[in-house]
Amino acid sequence: MDKKYIGVDVGGTSVKLGIVDGQGNVLEQREVIYSEEKDRRSMMDVITDSIHSLADDNGGIGKFSGIGVSAAGCINSVTGSVAGNGGNVKGWSNTQVCRILTDEFGLPAALANDANCAILGELWTGAAQGYTDVLGITLGTGVGGGVITGGKLLEGAHGFAGELGHFTTHAGGEHCICGQDGCYERYASTSALIRSAEETDPGFSSGRIIFRAVEEGDQRAAAVLDKWISEIAYGIAGFVHVFDPQIILIGGGVSAQQKLLIQPLKEKVLSMIMPDFAADLQFRSAALGNNAGLVGAVYYLLSKELFSDNM
């Protein structure tokens, strides 16, 4: 019988859970909304209670072979714990996630950060299937990312690697949450697009409004968008020279914009990089949406070779 796993995706205000089989199919999923004030439970208690309830409704925990967790914040995937910076999840810093799950459920557990899990999900069952060298960039409030090189997730010494939003593209530029000035994400995130569009017209208050204005021929919105796409392209061109990927995957709410974002971004990047790197470089939107994190977390668990018979 095919083994089944529990995938968990921990965000700032909710926990998504799914039952995932050995091929990456999501057999069942649910979402638990978390509010620290209402719940009076820690995020970790919400996670263990939710796993108990999902397992109890599906034949008991004995039916499952492991738990993979994708989480926001700075995640040490080597120790399976949250580092000192828990991101926007309250009370999350320094939580020993894998040890708690293994003690509670008697199952192997693995933990990795959400951007890395998302790219692993895409590699397993999404838009990056069949590739070995993938650069994933997620555009949102910040810029997240993940790098697959030679078929493996680039993790670094602690599992922190892949923070693609935090390197300087503008020396002496805007201050960033990481403590530096002029980081890539201050210029290439969707928030950056909105900030600069609002300087042109306060009505340009969301990505959707800005893209619609461009479609309707608004030249001011088109100029802001073009400048933003150049900012994204500068960073990607650098990453291409460092990692030599086969495919660039763009995620985030704006990534559905093929004609107005993906296509012009591709053209700009190809014009910036050395020709040998450009020969068959692909550009795609991420495909998995909401499930990428929990599917990728299970793939991460499997790839840690706890289950070498299952790979």
Sites of contact with Zn ion (CB under 5 A): 166, 176, 178, 180, 183
- Rounded to 5 degrees, φ, ψ at 50 are -70, -35
Angle at Cα 225 formed by Cα 232 and Cα 186, nearest 5°? 45
Nearer to Zn ion, 108 or 173 (CB): 173
The pair of three-digit structure tokens given for residue 296, joined into one six-digit string: 């990728």
Tell me whether residue 16 or residue 186 sits nearer to Zn ion (CB atom).
186
Work out how close the CB of 297 gets to Zn ion at its nearest, in angstroms, rounded to a whole number: 25
Smaller CB distance to Zn ion: residue 166 or 170?
Answer: 166
Q: CB 260 → Zn ion: shortest distance, Å?
A: 27
Nearest distance from C-beta of residue 185 to Zn ion, angstroms: 6
Nearer CB in complex with Zn ion: 82/183: 183
Least Å from the CB of residue 186 to Zn ion: 7
Minimum CB distance to Zn ion, residue 32 (Å): 31
Beta carbon nearer to Zn ion, 164 or 281: 164
| Separation between Cα atoms, residue 40 and residue 44, nearest integer Å | 12
| Residue with smaller CB distance to Zn ion, 102 or 169 | 169
Residue 277, CB-side half-sphere exposure with 13 Å CA sphere: 20
Query: Please, what is the minimum distance in Å from the beta carbon of residue 139 to Zn ion?
Result: 15
State both tokens at 220.
Answer: 């001011």
Looking at the Cβ atoms of 125 and 190, the one nearer to Zn ion is 190
Closer to Zn ion by CB, 6 or 188: give it: 188
Q: Which of 301, 309, 208, 298 is nearest to 260 (CA)?
A: 208
Supply the minimum distance, in Å, between the C-beta of residue 142 and Zn ion: 8
Whole-number minimum distance, CB 70 to Zn ion, in Å? 22
